[in-house]
Amino acid sequence: MLTAGQILQLIRNGSCRTRKELIEYTGLSRSTITDRVDRLIMAGYIHESGVGTSGGGRPPSVLDVDAAKRLMLVADLGATHARVALTDLAARPMAEEHTEMRIELGPDAVLSWVREAFQRLLDRVGRPASEVCGIGLDLPGSVDHTTGRVIRSFLMPGWDDHPVGEAIGATFDVPILVENDANAMALGEWWSLWRHTDSLVLIKVSTGIGTGIVLDGQIYRGVEEAAGNIGHVRLRETDDRVCTCGSRGCVASLASGHALAHDLGQSYSRDVVRLVQAGDPEAIARTQEAGRTLGIVLATAVSLLNPGVLVLAGDMAETREHYLTGIREIVYRRSLPYTTRNLEIVNSSLGDRAGIVGMAVIVMEHVLSPSSVDAALAAAVG
């Protein structure tokens, strides 16, 4: 017998739009469906949003998710930036705030800003914290998404094993989900534009290089939450440059935004972007070569995963087509033709909002999952 949480999924995915359709689809009795639906309405998960087509008699009420009554707060934290957003339960943005902030300032300073920014967003739209049903944060490192702790990050000194979820939970008593930034960005891109494809690989190239993998609509994290560490694949072990991980010849030490900035005498990856956009010939040449270097590793990823789309995100996606051209050249040259026959290699469609969108989707799916809904309904009765 389906639970109320499972009934909600049928409404969410469009399988059933009315009580009559639920009865016919599930085979459950009218009284059982009425009970499930009424409980979901009373708890604010769904509402009657219109009138369906009548087969004779009184037209049926259409059931839909009530996205307005609950709120979500999400944060996208990069090596040099922080963005927060307030969304409804359909992951639609209601307010956002962005600032330049270095993650190396440490968890206390960064998470204090996040908590204060969350409150500012609520104040801006005039909604109380009690309406927040879930929070999500992404970070530029490996995280244990079940405990909300940072496992490791070469860009985040002082963050290892920090209880990020607990730090935010001190202010908000709701589920708090923590994710790697490239994973969140990959899901954001997939949700927004690529839901018709079974697999997507996103490569974030900014200060470092990270990869997010979406398979069958789910983030693939790996056994040790370390899937996507493509930036630390070694290409030239005799290279003089030492990567942030301590090894030599890593892709990140050769092709990341930080590496390009160093080669061009600049401070940050965004300085490289400005040079490329201004038409600087050396910056363009080095950017294309960095794309070719990363393309060597991505050609292997294409052979292993056979994705439908490769998405370039992060600062280097803003170099127009220059970094992407280098990737395309090597991936198509080094991969078997049938593995790239239907492969699309594109720049991010969401830009610097990919992480925010992805985290909102992650929180939404958690809050509206059958287990979470059934637990909340049981707690309300208790």
**pLDDT at position 345:** 97
Q: Are residues 150 and 219 in the same domain?
A: no
| β-bridge mates for residue 3, sequence order | none
Kindly state the average pLDDT of the residues 291-296.
96
Contacts for 250 with CB less than 8 Å, ≥ 6 apart: 231, 232, 233, 234, 235, 243
Say how many C-beta atoms besides its own lie within 10 A of residue 33's C-beta.
22
Q: Are residues 361 and 288 in the same domain?
A: no
Kindly state the average pLDDT of the residues 51-67.
74
CA separation, residue 285 to residues 256, 260, 330 (Å): 14, 11, 15
**pLDDT at position 54:** 53
Q: Are residues 89 and 228 in the same domain?
A: no
CA separation, residue 88 to residues 93, 142, 336 (Å): 7, 28, 44
Q: Are residues 211 and 314 in the same domain?
A: yes
Kindly state the average pLDDT of the residues 344-373.
96
The residue from 65, 98, 114 where one domain ends is: 65
Say how many C-beta atoms besides its own lie within 10 A of residue 61's C-beta.
17
Q: Are residues 78 and 177 in the same domain?
A: yes
Q: Are residues 203 and 287 in the same domain?
A: yes
| β-bridge mates for residue 270, sequence order | none
Task: Look over the chain and give the mean of its residue pLDDT values, rounded to a whole number.
Answer: 92
Q: Where in the sequence is the domain holding 59, given as residue range(s)?
A: 4-65
CB 212 within 8 A of CB 359: no
- Distance, in Å, from the CA atom of 6 to the CA atom of 23, rounded to the nearest integer, reads 13
Band (52; pLDDT cuts 50, 70, 90): low
Q: Side-chain half-sphere of 291: how many Cα atoms within 13 Å?
A: 30
Q: What are the φ and ψ backbone dihedral angles of 180, each rounded to 5 degrees?
A: -70, 145
The residue from 47, 65, 83 where one domain ends is: 65
**pLDDT at position 37:** 96
Cα angle vertex 192, ends 343, 147, to 5°?
100
| β-bridge mates for residue 215, sequence order | 199, 218
What does 69-85 look like in DSSP terms, one character per residue?
S-EEEEEEE-SSEEEEE
Kindly state the average pLDDT of the residues 290-318.
95
CB 240 within 8 A of CB 248: yes
**pLDDT at position 53:** 60
- The number of distinct structural domains making up the chain is 3
Looking at residue 58, its amino acid is: R
CATH of the domain at 289: 3.30.420.40
**pLDDT at position 219:** 96
Q: Where are the beta strands (DSSP E) in the chain?
A: 46-51, 61-65, 71-77, 81-88, 93-100, 132-139, 142-144, 149-152, 176-180, 199-205, 209-215, 218-219, 309-313, 344-347
Estimate the share of the chain in helix, then strand, then coil, as percent rounded to the nearest 5. 45, 20, 35
Give the DSSP letter of residue 130: G
More confidently predicted of 234 and 114 = 114
Strand order in the sheet with 132-139: 93-100, 81-88, 71-77, 132-139, 176-180
**pLDDT at position 141:** 85
pLDDT in tens, 150-205: 887 777 888 989 999 999 988 888 999 999 999 999 999 999 999 999 999 999 99
The lowest-confidence range among 12-26, 146-160, 252-266 is 146-160
The residue from 65, 80, 114 where one domain ends is: 65
Q: Are residues 179 and 193 in the same domain?
A: no
Q: Are residues 132 and 199 in the same domain?
A: no
- Distance, in Å, from the CA atom of 204 to the CA atom of 260, rounded to the nearest integer, reads 15
- Distance, in Å, from the CA atom of 63 to the CA atom of 36, rounded to the nearest integer, reads 12
Looking at residue 298, its amino acid is: L
**pLDDT at position 194:** 97
Q: Are residues 199 and 334 in the same domain?
A: yes
User: Quick check: helix, strand or coil at residue 330?
Assistant: helix
What does 232-280 look like in DSSP terms, one character per residue?
G-BS-TT-SPBPTTS-BSBHHHHHSHHHHHHHTT-SSHHHHHHHHHTT-
Band (62; pLDDT cuts 50, 70, 90): very high
Q: Is the pLDDT of residue 67 over 80?
A: yes
**pLDDT at position 58:** 65
Band (146; pLDDT cuts 50, 70, 90): confident
Q: Are residues 178 and 318 in the same domain?
A: no
Give the closest residue to 209 by CA, choosing from 143, 93, 295. 295
Radius of gyration of the chain (CA): 23
CATH of the domain at 15: 1.10.10.10
Give the DSSP letter of residue 163: B
Q: Are residues 243 and 269 in the same domain?
A: yes
Q: Are residues 200 and 343 in the same domain?
A: yes
Kindly state the average pLDDT of the residues 216-239.
86
